[in-house]
Amino acid sequence: MTETTVTPERPLVVEEGETRPGFIGQNVPRKEDKRLVQGEGVFFDDMKRHEMGFVHFVRSPYAHARIKAVDVSKALELDGVYGTLTGDEVAILTDPFFELSTPPGAHIKDYALAVGKARHVGDPVAAVVARTRELARDAAELVEVEYEPLPVLLDAEQALDDEIVLHEDAASNTVWSGVFDWGDFDAAVADADHVIKIERLHFDRFSSTPLECSGCLVEFNRGTGQWTIHGNHQMPGVGAIWMAPALRVGIDKLRFVSQDIGGGFGNKITLHPQFTACCLLARKLNRPVQWTEWRTDQHTANTHGNERTFLDVTVPVKADGTMLGFSVRAIDDCGAFPRYEPLGCIIWAQVTPGCYRWRNVRVDFTQVCTNKSPVAPNRGYSRMQHLWLTERIVDIVAGELGLDPVEVRKKNYVKHEEFPYETPNGCIYDSGDYARCLDIALDLIGYNSLEEKRRDAESRGKLFGIGIGSTLDSGTNNFGQSLILNPELQFSGNNEVATVKLDIFGEVVVTLGTVPQGQGHETTTAQVVADILGCTPDDINVRAGHDTYWNSNAGFSGTYASQFAVTGLGAVKGAADKLAGEMKQLAAAVFGCSPDDIELVESQARIKGNSEAALPFMALGAILNANNAGLPEDLDITLNVRHVYRPPFEKPDLERKFGNLTLTYATQIHACALEVDPDTGVYEIVDYAAVDDCGNRIHPQIVEGQVHGATAQALGAATHEIFTYDEEGNLLTPNFYDYHVPHALDMPPMQTGFIESESPFTPLGAKGMGEGGGAGIHAVCAALQNALGKRGEGPIVWRSCNPYHRVWEMLESPAETRKLVSVESR
Amino acid sequence: MEVVSRKTITMTVNGESYEREVDARRLLIHFLRDDLDLTGSHIGCDTGNCGACSVLVDGVLVKSCMLLAIQADGAKIETVEGLAQDGELTALQQAFSDHHGLQCGYCTPGMLMSATALLRSNAHPNDEEIRKAIQGNICRCTGYVNIVAAIKAAAE
């Protein structure tokens, strides 16, 4: 393939009054693609080391059981088995991982392997290392574990009773609880013309299930005491914060390396238990060890997205359809170990009123443990569940009061002219135009011919429904929100790093702190650097992947939470700006002029307007790196610039739980039309549109690809994907055989649209995006609600996942769900 | 009957001949990845559902996790590493890049093999035929939109 560069069409303003073509905003070819389409990517499982051993975890078949004895002797007798690790050893060799929550959650003891008790099916009880994958699996079956089964707790509301307690050290299943109260909810209720009550809504358990399972290849250097972890942790900065104290070593003893990662979606943020076990094994056995998670293990025992029950939702509404806010009791089921999940108790507050001008919100939030798989951030993390609530509120209220779901949204949306808009809890929505995005989405699905489509569907015996999902994709976290959870935590703000250097042969080399999993960081980075240095993306070598020993990372480095376009590219821009300044300084020193007289164009530094007085990048690189005699003594440059981007954040007011929790708010407005077979509950999405507004788009094709992917995941979660347990705590959907993710034939026709509302707060006017806020789930639920019944008569769609059988049940017994809703009109 | 636990097999992979002694229970995908170091084909599930390991065995599209290596004794195998010739991408590979038909790239090798098999038997497939041809390949990143567009473009 010959590498091509796209001729830029849109001018980029580089200095006031001066324009030139730029690469930002262009669909330049992705740098990552050439290796990936040839099978030449390097994923962790592709790596081999001499004499490495393969790890297999022995996992609990019980959801809740005391571990009375673990006997590894028979496994060790098998030829080719290198060694084992048990929970008892882990308890001696490591300290428990730190807990984010205040008590009771703070007292939970979480180790790399189960110690004393197994708390979910698949909980790793021991590990075996052997010469081959197959042998390791054979040997694991020879490990004899004596269990004493205990009563199983699977229901979050039942967990509140503490009759069965998972973590005796905490003495309660409650991890954290708190009340958030903004505005004056009681006054809003008193002021309302209607008060709508929804007894119960439930956001189901699912996960994005990245196609590449988790894993690592760990090497231990006995001489230096340092571990190299070639793995697919997507947030290694935080992984190291968890692992180093547990392993009782300094943080620099943990080197995280990754090149290509096969999808993450948040599911690879909490790999510290398994990675710690592998570190212990590599040290104990004095050989590299390799762990590749099996698909069934990923579904059973890695991470799920969080499951949330909403109780006693109360919504005060004025006669004209203006909603004044809401109150709710939320119970978050984090499974057996909270790990990252206590932050989910707060993170929803980034989008407290959703897209709406609601000023009075009261949320009583509790998180509990149950005997299910632990959870972790999953695309749309915590905000998705909350935004599903806000969208369900809007559609249920509209349905009960006979309001038009489009008009009621437009009436309650934050208005374009109100940005930047401060929410009742102090978050600053930076920019947007929700009503316009909605109009575009409706246009795309042919909303004007809605009645015609309805009649056509009805003539074929189908029920027709249309639904809207309005969401915010909040990005660039202020980790100060963790203080609302636990004031003792030492986290606030955010940061990301990039290093840009001009090397000896004039090569521009960029090193990122991020950990890409398909988001095209190499490409978008090259676009930004090329525009700043006056060259092309082909001239920019962006190192693939992440390596903590590149020293281009900081505490929050990683790829998560819709932030690269702000934090990652903010760091890139900062470093490239500084390098550009140094290149001008160097050229000025050579030419004996002022740096202000130098411009960077066509891969040269030259005196403005004088193409004869030019130094190609190669000359600049060579002069400073290898031919520097005679340069002015006070020329203090390195041509190797590391920049830390730090977004402007303050710590929140903990008393009021008030402050700006994220820097940007991208918008996703989706519209969905579907047809339901009233006899079977089978339904088909017939039209679908997704409209995105993420500010200035660096690479529109990549943005659109993220929209497609987020939509597909949301549609899977809305229609099929659900982690279901039997009453003994066995997961009934433990792999792709039972857990149906969308295939090519499942995807509806999808149209996309966009607007660009530049963010006033970010280095490039861009907003983080990619998670999508689960808009597809909200839109499908709304469309089903619309299809299944007329005003005040049909069933209430009260769960986030609605497979055909649930739709059929709702059609069969509408009264069952209808009783969940009541309206008090004054 | 003698139980055979290891066997010497020969295979031609992307035009190269190999002879190896393997465990009888070795899966073809593990043979390709671990023994021949052809790591382009990937593993995404335990159950034959994801298609990341798709290869061509004697011209037939196969999920290589659903076949033992010894079952492919004597076969001619094509994997993603064999598509580009002398660094020149095939029309399909180029189309995947042009149309942003890949994000993380993990499903891509299997997807490309399924699409290659499709285009050999049907040079001008319509959308439905394309979707049917890749229904055994799971992608968690793209929603398939641009994959379908890429395959269609390669056919044109």
**Which chain A residue has the Cα nearest residue B146?**
A705
Residue-level pLDDT at B3: 78
| Residues of chain A with C-beta less than 8 angstroms from the C-beta of B83 | 38
State the Cα–Cα distance between residues A498 and A63, nearest whole angstrom.
Answer: 44
State the Cα–Cα distance between residues A259 and A379, nearest whole angstrom.
Answer: 21
Residue A767's domain spans which residues? 178-206+304-370+381-479+652-820
Contact A744 B83 (CB under 8 A): no
Alpha helices in A753-801 (DSSP H): 775-788
Cα–Cα nearest to B53, from B95, B96, B1, B112: B112
pLDDT one-digit tens code per residue, A574-597:
999 999 999 999 999 999 999 999
State the Cα–Cα distance between residues A602 and A746, nearest whole angstrom.
Answer: 48
* B49 touches B55 (CB < 8 A): no
Q: Which residue has the tokens 């290891």?
A: B6
- pLDDT at B4 exceeding the cut of 90: no
The last residue of a domain, from among A302, A323, A351: A302
Contact A36 B105 (CB under 8 A): yes
pLDDT one-digit tens code per residue, A96-117:
999 999 999 999 999 999 999 9
Residue-level pLDDT at B156: 87
**Which chain A residue has the Cα nearest residue B97?**
A33
**Of the partner residues B25, B38, B140, the one whose CB lies closest to the CB of residue A263:** B140
- pLDDT at A9 exceeding the cut of 80: no
Residue A736 and residue A697 share a domain: yes
| Residues of chain B with C-beta less than 8 angstroms from the C-beta of A32 | 105
Amino acid found at A90? V
Report the gap between the CA of B5 and the closest CA in chain A (Å).
Answer: 13
**Which chain A residue has the Cα nearest residue B144?**
A744
pLDDT one-digit tens code per residue, A727-747:
999 999 999 999 999 999 999
| Structural domain total, chain A | 3
Residue A5 within a domain: no
Residue-level pLDDT at A3: 32
Amino acid found at B47? T
| Crossing angle of the two packed helices A272-285 and A236-247, in degrees rounded to 10 | 50
pLDDT category at A12 given cuts 50, 70, 90 is very low
Contact A211 B79 (CB under 8 A): no
State the Cα–Cα distance between residues A406 and A440, nearest whole angstrom.
Answer: 12
Q: Which residues contact B21 (CB under 8 A, 6 or more apart)?
A: B6, B7, B8, B9
The last residue of a domain, from among A597, A629, A645: A645
Pairs of CB atoms within 8 A across A/B? 186
pLDDT one-digit tens code per residue, A687-729:
999 999 999 999 999 999 999 999 999 999 999 999 999 999 9
pLDDT one-digit tens code per residue, A532-573:
999 999 999 999 999 999 999 999 999 998 999 999 999 999
- pLDDT at A627 exceeding the cut of 90: yes
Residue-level pLDDT at A209: 97
Phi/psi for A381 (5° steps) reads -30, 120
Residue A116 within a domain: yes
For chain B, which domains are there?
A: 6-82 (3.10.20.30), 91-155 (1.10.150.120)
**Of the partner residues A38, A132, A261, the one whose CB lies closest to the CB of residue B84:** A38
- Bridge pairing between strands A124-130 and A53-59: antiparallel
* A615 touches A605 (CB < 8 A): yes
Residue A325 and residue A260 share a domain: no
Report the gap between the CA of A258 and the closest CA in chain B (Å).
Answer: 13
What would the two tokens of residue A59 be? 């996992």
Residue A161 within a domain: no
- Bridge pairing between strands A226-231 and A254-258: parallel
Question: Once rounded to an integer, what is the mean pLDDT over residues A357-365?
Answer: 98
Contact A37 B138 (CB under 8 A): no
Report the gap between the CA of B145 and the closest CA in chain A (Å).
Answer: 7
Residue A256 within a domain: yes
Residue A632 within a domain: yes
A821 strand-pairing partners: A198
pLDDT one-digit tens code per residue, A105-156:
999 999 999 999 999 999 999 999 999 999 999 999 999 999 999 999 999 9
Residue A703 and residue A583 share a domain: no
Residue A596 and residue A699 share a domain: no
Contact A134 B106 (CB under 8 A): no
CA B147 to chain centre: 15
Task: Kindly state the helix (H) or strand (E) to which residue A177 belongs, with its residue range.
Answer: strand A174-182
Cα–Cα nearest to B79, from B135, B12, B134, B140: B12
Residue A725 and residue A776 share a domain: yes
Report the gap between the CA of A702 and the closest CA in chain B (Å).
Answer: 7
Contact A708 B145 (CB under 8 A): yes
Residue-level pLDDT at A792: 65
Question: Once rounded to an integer, what is the mean pLDDT over residues A617-623?
Answer: 97
What would the two tokens of residue A305 be? 């997205």
pLDDT one-digit tens code per residue, B24-42:
999 999 999 999 999 999 9
Question: Once rounded to an integer, what is the mean pLDDT over residues A245-263?
Answer: 98
Residue-level pLDDT at A791: 63
pLDDT one-digit tens code per residue, A50-101:
999 999 999 999 999 999 999 999 999 999 999 999 999 999 999 999 999 9
Contact B145 A294 (CB under 8 A): no
pLDDT category at A312 given cuts 50, 70, 90 is very high
Quote the mean pLDDT of chain A: 95
- pLDDT at A442 exceeding the cut of 50: yes
Residue-level pLDDT at A793: 81
Check: pTM over 0.90? Answer yes or no.
yes
| Residues of chain B with C-beta less than 8 angstroms from the C-beta of A517 | 104
Q: What CATH number does the domain containing A312 carry?
A: 3.30.365.10
Contact B45 A735 (CB under 8 A): yes
Residue A228 and residue A191 share a domain: no
Q: Which residues of A418-432 are buried (b: 16+ CB within 10 A; e: fewer)?
A: ebebebbbbbbbbbb
| β-sheet with A254-258: strand ranges across | A81-86, A124-130, A53-59, A289-292, A215-221, A226-231, A254-258, A546-547
State the Cα–Cα distance between residues A58 and B98, nearest whole angstrom.
Answer: 45
* A683 touches A676 (CB < 8 A): yes
Q: Which residue has the tokens 């930047």?
A: A420
Residue A11 within a domain: no
| Residues of chain B with C-beta less than 8 angstroms from the C-beta of A38 | 40, 80-81, 83-84, 89, 93
* A85 touches A53 (CB < 8 A): no
**How many residues are there in chain B?**
156
Question: Once rounded to an integer, what is the mean pLDDT over residues B75-100?
Answer: 97
pLDDT one-digit tens code per residue, A33-50:
999 999 999 999 999 999
**Three-state DSSP class for residue A586:** helix
Residue A586 and residue A547 share a domain: yes
Residue-level pLDDT at A2: 31
**Which chain A residue has the Cα nearest residue B136?**
A743
Question: Once rounded to an integer, what is the mean pLDDT over residues A756-781?
Answer: 96
Which 8-state DSSP code applies to residue A516? -
